[in-house]
Amino acid sequence: MVVAGRALPAAAAAAAAARPHYKVDYWAQLDPGAGLAHVRWRLKGNQGYLGRISLRVDPDRYLNPEGDGTVTTEPGWIHWSPPDGEAVLRYDVRLNHRRAVGKGFDSYMTPEWALFKGEDLIPPTHTYERVAGVGAEAEAEARFDLELPPGWSLVATRPGIGEGVVEIEEEHRRLDRPNGWMVAGKLGVTREKIAGVSFVLANPAGQPFRRMDMLAWLEATVPELQLVFGDLPARFVVVGAGDPMWRGGLSAPDSLYLHADRPLVERDGTSPVVHELVHAFMHARAGEGGDWIVEGLAEWYSLEIQRRAGLLSQTRFKKALAKLEKRGSEVDDLSVARSSGATTARAVGVLDRLDWQIRQETSDQRSLDDVVRRLEQQREPVTMASFRAASEAVAGRDLKVFFRGHVDQPSSPGEAKAVKSK
């Protein structure tokens, strides 16, 4: 069975047909007995468009790479130089993977089920043309076929995966690949359309994931998120499971994972599910020194969206902000490589003030929502410079004083009480 991908407009389709074409067929098979996924790539019609493909991999997980042409490895990479025409690459993936040493799994397979991301099977790549310039205009057609153990079903961001060959189309990518969270096995599944998005909530049967609680939370918050982010994906997958999976939340394209023990609202008022939804809808990756912005936005909106949805009173919202500001008051430097805990807490306070500042400058016509929409449209890694530029464009003025006072230097603890009123 071939499941059609998104249809292109006629003009775009004609332009695409005129370009040189090559094909990549991905095939993967889940093998719970061995704890592996067997993966094969088959390239067709490659005329030097792909001279070398470098797969970014964890060498402990990606085993036995071999293929036509030359296959070499170095720590963190598999390099494949395929011959022209038709060529095959094979490797195995150890599906079990811990989020960090001593922590739970962010990819896992048992004899009954598997929970992983598409990029665990088909990792990110760098591609190089064999002849400079020859591949620039070339169009790839990617297809994916995932073979499951007998009796298993699958939920993924694209319908049809696990049932036959599926066309994979992604914007902004040279070599399209299947991505997002996937859960396979005997599954509990709940489907609901919310704000135009077809949500699929799924967990391995017998795993303690409260889909109906989650659904209620999505019903309340997704319409508010849509007002901020505009176009949402047509389909969105929420997967959950208990131990030994990692006890946190993780977003991936058009999908998120949440451990079954995580509450909808934490004691500090933030919401892990809203936090991950913001990551997924915003598509923002952090550039150098920008992680506090990406994490801070997810955390601030996890409070703000609940407030707008009437799930968090104004009083509790302010209390939550004040607590986070206190927690972050010791943090001097926001521009750390990975923002978490106290750094993100401080970032929330900075972003809340920035929202207030923009509203002041624009007589309440603009807000942090407009900054976020700009960042989303740019689709570039968020850095301090791009964030400040977007904020200044929205505010309509130089924000040097604001950024110098609140970002370059720690907030003074006395300011923590000056939370805006709405």
User: Where along the sequence are the contacts to Zn ion (CB under 5 A)?
Assistant: 295, 298
**At closest approach, how far in Å is the CB of 201 from Zn ion?**
20
Reading phi first (left if > 0) and then psi (alpha if -120 to 50, else beta), residue 286 is in beta
Comparison of 125 and 270: residue with beta carbon closer to Zn ion: 270
Q: Is 64 exposed, middle or buried (0-12, 13-18, 19+ CB in 10 A)?
A: exposed
Q: Measured between alpha carbons, how far is 91 from 290 in angstroms, rounded to an integer?
A: 35
The residue among 254 and 295 lying less far from Zn ion, judged by its C-beta, is 295
Smallest gap, in angstroms, from Cβ of residue 344 to Zn ion?
8
Least distance to Zn ion, CB of residue 272, Å: 9
- Our CB check for Zn ion shows the closer of 220 and 298 to be 298
Cα–Cα dist 184/293, whole Å? 34
32, 68, 134, 422 from 111: Cα distances, Å: 5, 32, 46, 52
- Positions of E strands within 266-346: none
Closest approach, Cβ 1 to Zn ion, in A, equals 37
C-beta closer to Zn ion: residue 43 or 273:
273
Closest by alpha carbon to 189, among 156, 141, 150?
156
Please, what sign has the CA dihedral across residues 183, 184, 187, 189? positive
- CA 195, chain centre distance (Å): 20
* Residue nearer to Zn ion on the CB measure, 142 or 286: 286
Least distance (Å) from Zn ion to the CB of residue 111? 32
The letter for the amino acid at 230 is G
Distance between CA atoms of residues 420 and 422, nearest Å: 7
> Please, which residue, 92 or 295, has the CB nearer to Zn ion?
295
For the stretch 249-273, what's the b/e string if a residue is b when 16 or more beta carbons lie within 10 angstroms of its beta carbon? bbbbbbbbbbbeebebbeeebbbbb
Q: CB of 250 within 8 A of CB of 166? A: no
Return the number of the residue (76 or 341) whose C-beta is nearest Zn ion. 341
Q: To the nearest whole angstrom, how small is the minimum distance from the Cβ of residue 250 to Zn ion?
A: 8
Measured CA to CA, the distance from residue 167 to residue 252 in angstroms comes to 19
Contact 62, 78 (CB under 8 A): yes
Burial label for 69, CB within 10 Å (0-12, 13-18, 19+), is middle
Eight-class DSSP state of 415: G
The residue (of 114 and 294) whose beta carbon lies closer to Zn ion is 294
Q: How far is the CB of 295 from Zn ion (least distance, A)?
A: 5
Nearer CB in complex with Zn ion: 295/352: 295
CB of 420 to Zn ion, least distance (A): 23
C-beta closer to Zn ion: residue 214 or 286: 286
> Minimum CB separation from Zn ion for residue 276, in Å?
7
Neighbours of 332 (CB within 10 A): 9
DSSP β-ladder status, 113-117 and 181-185:
antiparallel
Helix (H) or strand (E) holding 40: strand 36-46
In the complex, what is the shortest distance from the CB of residue 347 to Zn ion, in angstroms, rounded to a whole number? 11
